Every structure is written in structure tokens, then in C-alpha cells.
Structure 1
């Protein structure tokens, strides 16, 4: 089976050899790369459809099992509803077809794949309407409208969590199943055996927005510093770099003391940093899944997350695999983190339960095999059930809540 994957791909994480071919920087999301690697390990050829702001012309780069199809992008795509990007992607898909396409997110990558005419399964990874409510600007309005178009056009949907599924419309639910995000086995290899904890807590967040919750988290840490004057708070991700939006906010509100603004990092750096942290504070008020939470669970670092933050309560097994609190309250977050800092036995127990829960429920083997079942049923390969049509089977994919 030749499987297409349309989405933001971290090419550096792909387990294949492109020789000396120059590889442009792309919009990158590690989970997509891990999914591709999982398909490669199972013997499938993968055609990757992605884009880069460094190109002026489309380019195709080939290895033994992977064909990279990379299209150019232009500045300010939201003003054009990503029309240029969609047209470029659709053209390169038609020129380099696959048997079936798995498209990430309900935006330009999925829209282009659907328009190519190749059977496309769309992976729903967020709630565009809730994001718009939390970030009411023109770009998010455009993304929401694109999401509406894609959900209408798509024949097959995969929601990345039960929470995402529940937020779909009734018509979209009829053509959707739930398959959770997963972790790649190699993540555990990124953490040195017996990594000692250092005197800091951390947050891994992309975007300084109300939805991501960093402003409240900075206020929470200021409260913690009053009781733990040597404790540090390390911020990683987009907008968390020195001079970035998070630091500017901290300066304006006199919240810089003890905070290190580290910015984006490689996945290896993130995993090692999380493994050394005493607590991962995840202040996001809404998450369709929460990959940083899952990665922290694998890194044996206890998590404080929102008790009403989308899928986070389910990911933390309703508080058995983490500490849940009201992340709209700086005081509540500070109290939850303090609880783990003061009680080492509790912290160790939470981290142990979280690691076991993550491995039992979000392994690559289970998740990728579910995707392959769907692809085979769409292409009528083998004696598989049609999961998009069989209600009882679809419900079987739901996270056990």
C-alpha cells in the first residue's frame, strides 16, 4: 500500500536516507513524522505532501521508502484562505499520487488532499470554533471557515481524542472514529537512565495566548517563588524565547524573577528537559489532546493540568495519573504544584502511574494498526470491517472514559 501523508512534517525526524539532497525547512510537527516512521517500519511506501517557506518552486526528493513532495508558501496565507498553498499541494498530489491519503488538521493540507480526488482520511486535531472564541482575530476566523469546508467535504474523519469527537457536529460524527494520538517508542530512548531531577518546573507551550494559559502560569510561579525562593520556571516553545511575547509580558508585570525563557527546542532537548523537571505545569485551558502532557508522562515527570481543559483530564486518567486543578486560577495552579513539590512520595507515585497509563493506552503499535485497518477498509483490501459505517465498531475506538 502506498500511503500519502499530508501535513506539517519534521523531516529531520524521518528514519530514511535522502542522501545529499538539500532539504528545506518545513512547517514541522513531530507526531506526523512519528506516524510516517511507523508506516515505514511496517513496510509501506509513504508519499509526504508538505510545504516550506524557503522554496519558490515545488520539489520532489526520494528515498527508498519515502517520497517527499514539498511545495512553496507565500506570506500572509490567511488573507487568501491559503489558496496558493492549497493549489500547490493539490497539483503535487496529482503528480505524485498515493493509494490513500491521511491528512493532518482540517485546514489547507486536508482541503488540498480532498480536492485531489484520492481517498482522504482527515485527522481532526483541534476544535477550530473554540480556538476562535479564545483567539478572536481574522486569522482564526479564516481557519474556522476552512475547517467548516473541510469537515463538509471529507468522507472519512479520525478524531484524535474522545474530547475532539464530542465537539464534532452530528453530521461529522457519523463519518468519524476516535483514534488517540500516540507516542513513538524512540522517545524513551531520548531520556538517559536515572535522570536526576533539578530544581525547576517547566511548561512546553507553543503560542502566547489566553488559550495556552502562560500569563496565569507566570502569576502562579510568582506565588511559588515566595515559598520556594530557589525554584526556577523554564518555558519552552514558540513565543517562549528570550525577548519573545512571554518574556515581554513578564517584564511588564514584574514576573521575571526565576523564569528562564528558552524558546523552541528539538524533541530530544524537550524530552531531556522535561525529564529533569520536578513538575510539568500545563496551563492550557483547552486541548484536543495534549502531546506535551503525554511526553512528560513518558519522561517520569508529574503533570499539573486543567480539570476542564479538553482531553487533559482523560489523558491524566481523571487525576490518578496527574494533578488536576482550575488553570484559570493562578492560586489554584500554585497550590497544585506546591503539593507535588512538598510531597516527594506523592510526586513519585503520580509519575509512576502516569508512565504506566501512557504506555498502556497510547502506544504506537495499537494506534497505527487502527489507522491501517481504516485504510484497508476504504481500499477494500482484505476482510476488514468498514469502521466509518459500523456504529458499534466506531464506538470501540473511543477512549475508555
Structure 2
């Protein structure tokens, strides 16, 4: 099938997956968890894939070829996008999609990519990957208000939707007619450990990966919990990965101002491959996030067989962790339950081994080869629905 993916993508990562010779000449793209590996999986299954994406590094649309994938890249303004509700970005997505002959568009998120696709000429499947009201609640500002309005507009226009988790699907039922199919995010098979990790050694290395130092990501509460963990376990180390968590970044400045930086490694942003490598050196993964539409970093930790401590009310995370059968669920709103959850695992090697095995088994359900067939069924359905609506030659309506 001829499929166009309209989404933010880590383009250098896509090049590493499909054509390393293109990595040095490809703009950075906008990131986007899982979209590069989804494109690679679709290619491996024989689909003719076109990618429409955006980048801050260009001033006008460009065309690249990465492996067998045609990549159409439009400009993404570094500032003032929200002033016109991302009109320029929406327009370039629509124009690029209208320039290609495809069977279906698969647009990700409910903002400029989905709105641009829905304004174009091709049948479109929209995957809802976050929930704007929840984001606004944790980050109340004008920018998130604009994003909220974009999501509502998208949901009013879209006729074919998937959600990445039951958590998102439940919220969509309040706003959308008809049913929403849950198709979760996926991981490539290369992201999974081939052997169970060793969990009998003492817990000495904790790891947390968060995309920002913010109220919703809740790293501050983890930092408040860490001294109690050190008091009990001694020479234990907490590594923080992600934007805002690097040397001199917001997380470190906050931690030092509160006397909470001892034993903490502020590693900052890393590539997806680097994150997986660090996970293999960790003993316990801690996800302090207050609300997640899915929880990609949690899934990646599960795929490496790491015992996980995460929030029992953190959106889709309890579902991802099989309601506690594949991870330790605690109240992450307060430091004490986080420290208690980590200490419970640290003191019980058998529990760590059990959760490690359960996490790895659960994560395998989300491997792309198990997920993509559900998307392929949606593509067929969307394309057939569009074909049924077309008027045959010689007929009028």
C-alpha cells in the first residue's frame, strides 16, 4: 500500500535505520518518539512509504531520499508559530501531501500535521498521541491553549482515529462520534534484550528519563525522594536523562538550590540508542511522571528488563505496567511513596527478578511486528471508506 506518514520524526535516526549514507546530509527533524521506527517497520513489510515532516533547519521545502522512502521536509518556524495557530506549518504539510499520489495518510498527533493532512485531498487516519487538556493543566500558558484549540478542531474534523492507549481512547469518547481503536506505540525488535538482566546484585544505579524538567514530568519529587533512598542504600546513584536534565540545566540548578544534588548524575539529552545503552547499566527505572498518554520511556525500560517504579494514577502507565503485575505502582505525587517503592525493590531480589521477567514479557506485546498489523487494517479501512464515497464516472449526486 502507498502510505504517507505525516509526523515529527528524528530524521538522523531514520537514516541510521534505513540508509546511513544519508545521515550527515539530513536535517535534524523534530524528533517524535517511535515515528522513525514505525516508518522503518512499514518499509520492511513492503509498503511504499512517503514521509512528510518538518524541520527548524530549513527555510523552504526540500526533498530527500532515505533508503526507499521519499522524505518531503517543510520549514518549522523557531518562534511565533502559535500566533497564527501554526498556519504556515499546516499549509506546508497540506501542500506536500497533495503533491504525492498515495492511498492513505497516517497523521500523528492532533496538531499541525493532522490538521494539514485533513485539509488535503487524501483519506487520513489520525493517531491521537497525547491529551491537550491534561497538558494544559500541568503547563497553563497561552501556547498550550492554542494547542488545545488545535486538538479540538482536529477531533471535530477527523473521521478515522486511533488512540495509543485506553487512557486516551476513554477521553476521546467524550468528544468524538463513533468508536476509537486502540493501537499502541511500538518498539523495534532491536530494542529488546535477548537475555534477562541480572537482578541479584545490590541496587546501586537508579535511572529516570524525562523529556523536560516540568511540573508534569515531576522530576523534582523524585529528587526530593532520593536522599531517603541514599540514607538506606548508601552509595547509590541516580542518573537523569532528558532535556533540561543536563549539566547546568534546570534540573541541576533546582536540585543544587534545594541541596538535593548529591549522588545525582545530570546526563541531559541522549539519542535513543544511547538511552538503551544506559538502561543496560541501571538496576531500577523510576518514572515520576504525573500523567502519560502512553509512556514510551517506561516501555523502553520494560523492553530492557528493568524493574520499574511508576505512578499508579499516571494516565496510561498503570495499563502499560499491566496494573502492577509488570512494575511497582506508587503515589508519585509525594516523595515518600517513591522512596518506599524503590527500597522495596532494592531489598527484595526475588521481587526484582519477577517484575523484570513480567516487564519483558509484557513489553514484547508492543513490538512493532505485533502492532503494525493493526495499523495496516486501519489503512485498508480508511482507503476503502474513501473509495466508497467517490462518485463513479457518469454519475452525479
After superposition, the C-alpha distances for 1:56-108 in whole angstroms (9 at most, x for unaligned) are 11101124520001111112212221111111221111123422111110111
Which residue matches 2:54? 51
Q: Is the 8 A contact 1:155 1:175 kept in 2?
A: no
Measure, in 2, the Cα distance between the counterparts of 1:225 and 1:213: 19
Measure, in 2, the Cα distance between the counterparts of 1:170 and 1:262: 40
1:240 is displaced (CA, Å) by 0.9
1:248 is displaced (CA, Å) by 1.3
In the TM superposition, structure 1's runs of 4+ consecutive aligned residues that sit over 3 Å from their partners are 18-21, 191-198
Which residue matches 2:148? 144
Q: Is the 8 A contact 2:283 2:306 kept in 1?
A: yes
Measure, in 2, the Cα distance between the counterparts of 1:192 and 1:49: 37
Measure, in 2, the Cα distance between the counterparts of 1:307 and 1:161: 15
Is 1:106 aligned to 2:110, yes or no? Answer: yes
1:313 is displaced (CA, Å) by 0.8
Measure, in 1, the Cα distance between the counterparts of 2:363 and 2:51: 28
Distance 1:70 1:278, change over 3 A: same
1:363 is displaced (CA, Å) by 2.3
Is 1:367 aligned to 2:388, yes or no? Answer: no
Distance 1:147 1:333, change over 3 A: same
- Where do 5+ consecutive residues of structure 1 fail to align? 382-401
Which residue matches 1:17? 19
- Where do 5+ consecutive residues of structure 2 fail to align? 386-397
Measure, in 2, the Cα distance between the counterparts of 1:199 and 1:140: 39
Q: Is the 8 A contact 2:196 2:305 kept in 1?
A: no
Candidates 65, 90, 106, aligned match of 2:68: 65
1:25 is displaced (CA, Å) by 1.0
After superposition, the C-alpha distances for 1:87-132 in whole angstroms (9 at most, x for unaligned) are 1221111123422111110111111111112111111011110110
Alignment RMSD, CA only? 1.9
Is 1:29 aligned to 2:43, yes or no? Answer: no
Which residue matches 1:260? 265
Is 1:328 aligned to 2:369, yes or no? Answer: no
Measure, in 2, the Cα distance between the counterparts of 1:273 and 1:314: 25
Q: Is the 8 A contact 2:29 2:56 kept in 1?
A: yes
Measure, in 2, the Cα distance between the counterparts of 1:173 and 1:213: 34
Which residue matches 1:226? 231
After superposition, the C-alpha distances for 1:163-186 in whole angstroms (9 at most, x for unaligned) are 110111434151521111122101
SS at match of 1:380: helix
TM normalised by structure 2 equals 0.91
Superposition map of 1:238-257 within 5 A? 238-257=243-262
Q: Is the 8 A contact 1:212 1:284 kept in 2?
A: yes
1:193 is displaced (CA, Å) by 8.1
After superposition, the C-alpha distances for 1:303-325 in whole angstroms (9 at most, x for unaligned) are 00101111111111111111000
TM normalised by structure 1 equals 0.90
Which residue matches 1:126? 130
Is 1:284 aligned to 2:292, yes or no? Answer: no
